[in-house]
Structure 1
């Protein structure tokens, strides 16, 4: 028998689904129910240019009591997809089998709480700007059977998917810098605060300027708390620049709230001594 690893069964499953996946009501399809699907604890998934991001997924699975899911001949899990099940644009699946623990049993069904991890790798699974945005979760059941020898090979593979179980935002990571000058500065003189807003470009593995975005300049006097000074808009290449009158010694920083496709970011602080 061909072993059906969970990574093989689920990663790439959407491509197979577009070809010949049986409908949920097809004969022979087990009665599985995926509920309570939560991706990344309900928070956006923010991905940079090099580091893989591990995304926790939790859900409840109810299955027939007599159905054995061994993650070899039979497998189940949750994956993420962009687009539709019929015509997906991209997908992300777990590389290891989910861990499930029974929580309730009836004469005919077993209910289990399951957890798994989906890994998002920039430039591999995520490689274009369109991958930033809303993704959906799908429950998957796969069954593999067959036999093989030196003289004969036979394989059967069935796949069933249930879409629109949950949604999550995948976003491009942002970087934000700040520099206030001159340092130190005479009280009452003009202080220029500059910085740069960039975001991950998965296709090239670099951070590029993010123009036309609202960024808030904040100031914290020594011993105090941060407060908003003003909002400015990033220019060409993500450049930021504004001026303030030096009044007290303290720290300046920029804050970017994020967008539907780019994660929020707060710069490190730059301390200025006022004489």
Structure 2
């Protein structure tokens, strides 16, 4: 795995605060194995190096809030990169110069085998100064990141819980930082490749057959594969209604197929819904209207 290096620099009132920022970036043609990243991530923090990376404040500066992707899961498929924002709010008596934030996957930011993935800012050469200043002492700053399947997300086992690093730099060069300010979920996309409700029309009291196929992306191979043994909700919206109700739940087959029957009673629209899990996004099928006569 290649190592991508950049510098985080903040220039304030004629003084400069400089920190090396080095993180691993998997390439699409690399084997899906964990990088040796201890030396790469050791200087990653924006402030003073700590022997243990707990939340650390220097001086009076403090990080008060971090929001990742609007508090929604980061969902990534197999062809399109996913861009999202991290907003860091910080306060400091002397004012806020800027922030840094990124996601990393693993157990220990400082150990040789403790990190196997990172999603870094689109402009990692500098701290973000894209800030909304609420007062002379408090600001919320935006950091934009892009997760690329096959590159940052180079293997499927990277799905699930990631760690959020956040750092802030004051105009007086004070820093605040935390290697795990919070956690956030980065999930593999799922979808229904097909759905059908038949026959159409159908006589009242006769069976309606509902069938579809649930698939999930593999970041390792950049293809969708049938997702087996997953609970799929059969949902119905009665004609004239604006909302769906869950009629029953069925499990997908070993190939991700979903098939069940329902007794026809009234006109309405049918669909399938997958609620997702800790590694996989939700999915909703197309809808199919059935006329009951």
Instruction: Give the shorter-chain TM-score range.
Output: 0.7 to 0.9
**Residues 162 and 186 of structure 2 are in contact (CA less than 8 Å); yes or no, is this contact kept in structure 1?**
yes
Pair 1:115–1:245, CA change in 2 (3 A): same
- 1:77 corresponds to 2:100: yes
TM-score by length of 2: 0.72
2:220 aligns with 203
Native 8 Å contact 1:11 1:95 kept in 2: no
| Matching residue of 1:162 | 178
Aligned partner of 1:261 in structure 2 is: 279
Contact 2:75 2:186 in 1 (8 A): yes
Give the TM-score of the pair, scaled to structure 1: 0.77
Equivalent of residue 120 in structure 2, options 78, 85, 93: 93
Partner of 2:189: 173
Structure number having the greater helix percentage: 1
2:209 to 180, 185, 192: 192
How far apart, in 2, do the equivalents of 1:66 and 1:210 lie? 50
Structure 2 CA distance, aligned partners of 1:4 and 1:19?
A: 13
In the other structure, the counterpart of 1:153 is none
- 1:55 equivalent in structure 2: 84
The size of the alignment, in residue pairs, is 244
Q: Tell me the alpha carbon deviations over residues 62-88 of structure 1, each in whole angstroms, 9 at most, x when there is no partner.
A: 468499x6xxxxx85111111121221
Secondary structure in 2 matching 1:41: helix
Q: Which runs of 5+ in 1 are unaligned?
A: 70-74, 143-159
Supply the distance in 2 between the matched residues of 1:64 and 1:17 (Cα, whole angstroms): 33
Query: Are the structure 2 counterparts of residues 10 and 197 from structure 1 closer, same or farther at C-alpha, using a change threshold of 3 Å?
Result: farther
Please say which structure displays the higher CA radius of gyration: 1
Structure 1 residue aligned with 2:158: 131
Instruction: Give structure 2 stretches of 5+ with no counterpart.
Output: 1-5, 10-18, 25-36, 170-175
How do 1:136-151 residues align onto structure 2 when only pairs under 5 Å count? 136-140=163-167
